[in-house]
Amino acid sequence: MKKRVTKAIFPVAGKGTRFLPATKSIPKEIMTLVDRPLIQYAIDEARAAGIKDFIFVTSRGKSALEDYFDHSPELENTLRKAGKDDLLATLKTTNMDSGAIAYIRQHKAMGLGHAVWCARRLIGNEPFAVILPDDVIAAEKPCLQQMVEAHAETGGCMVAAMEVPPEKASSYGVLDVRQDNGETVSVQGMVEKPPVDEAPSNLAVIGRYILTPDIMRNLSRIKTGSGGEIQLTDAIAAEIEADRDVFGYRFRGQRFDCGSKSGFLQATVAFGLGREDLRDEFDDYLRELMSMRQAAQ
Ligand code: G1P
């Protein structure tokens, strides 16, 4: 029987320099889309997919993340006494059960693959998910849940995938497709950030993975790859070379690249418009703004 996926790794050690000066004193994962930090979207998606153990790979200067997931009895008491039940309920969604969350330090920035490898002892011999909180995915059914369901059929390793404009493929891990079955594709090769003219397709890896424990063994062996870093993509490609299955999964949903300023702004607008309590006022504002801009041209 296939083992259920109950562990997820959240690589959050990155410095977030693209968002300086904001990230001088706050981790980028604490930056908010509307009123929830990026990391909360990732955690909620993992919970919906049945994840029970949350493993954060952090680095120096990220202690605000640990505080964020701690309980806050004083604040909860104040809200309770004031009868602010809605806020209390919102606050409680951030609480994590004791023992459900673990923090591992990546001492040196050596790439995504290395960050994932840092969690190897907590993963043991089980399949696990990896969620990159920079990739925020708005979807009716959360992306990782879609993948867990598809993975129950396929087994092997699975990566979220999305078609990108061919000239953008060099910013991603790119899949070389063996067989295209529509929602899932079987993969015969994977390459991290290939030069545009060498990309095997325009089907890009997006930051959701379901991986076998073999990946940890591969990560122990592989050499530095693209950008001089230990690449997760290379460790997954090594599975294909060992004749084990790797699949791409075309998820249903809209992905925002919140690692870029423009993607972050787009996500802010989309999530703002998605909120019932904000929609009308925000929509009116955007329309007015657009018509003023058009009139000025
Ligand atoms: C990472 C992965 C890459 C993937 C991307 C998705 O790259 O290495 O394979 O396509 O995330 O967002 P990064 O954007 O961290 O450089």
Query: Would the CB of 209 count as within 6 Å of ligand 1?
Result: no
pTM metric for this prediction: 0.94
Ordered structural domains, the chain, with CATH: 7-259 (3.90.550.10), 270-297 (no CATH)
Atom of ligand 1 nearest to the CA of 112: 8
**pLDDT single digits (tens) 89-106:** 988 888 888 889 999 999
In order of 8, 210, 247, 254, the CA distances from 141 in angstroms are 18, 17, 20, 11
What pLDDT score does 92 carry? 85
Residue 116 Cβ < 6 Å to ligand 1? no
Q: Which of 54, 44, 56, 233 is nearest to 143 (CA)?
A: 44
For the CA of 14, the closest atom of ligand 1 is 15
Which pLDDT score, from 0 to 100, does residue 264 have?
A: 97
pLDDT in tens, 102-139: 999 999 999 999 999 999 999 999 999 999 999 999 99
Does residue 69 surpass a pLDDT of 90? no
Residue 239: what pLDDT?
96
Distance 173 CA to ligand 1 centre (A): 6
**Does residue 233 have its Cβ closer than 6 Å to ligand 1?**
yes
Pocket test for ligand 1, best of 12, 17, 18, 112 (most atoms within 8 A of CB): 112
Q: Is the CB of residue 57 less than 8 Å from the CB of residue 69?
A: no
Is the minimum distance from the CB of 14 to ligand 1 under 6 angstroms? no
Q: What is the pLDDT of residues 165-174, one digit of tens each?
A: 999 999 999 9
**Ligand 1 pocket, residue 234 CB under 6 Å:** no
Whether residue 1 is predicted with pLDDT greater than 60 in this model: the reply is: no
pLDDT at 98: 80
Q: Crossing angle of helices 232-241/214-221, nearest 10°?
A: 110
- Per-residue pLDDT of 25-48, as tens digits, reads 899 999 999 999 999 999 999 999
Q: Is the pLDDT of residue 248 over 60?
A: yes
Q: pLDDT tens across 172-195, in order?
A: 999 999 999 999 999 999 999 999
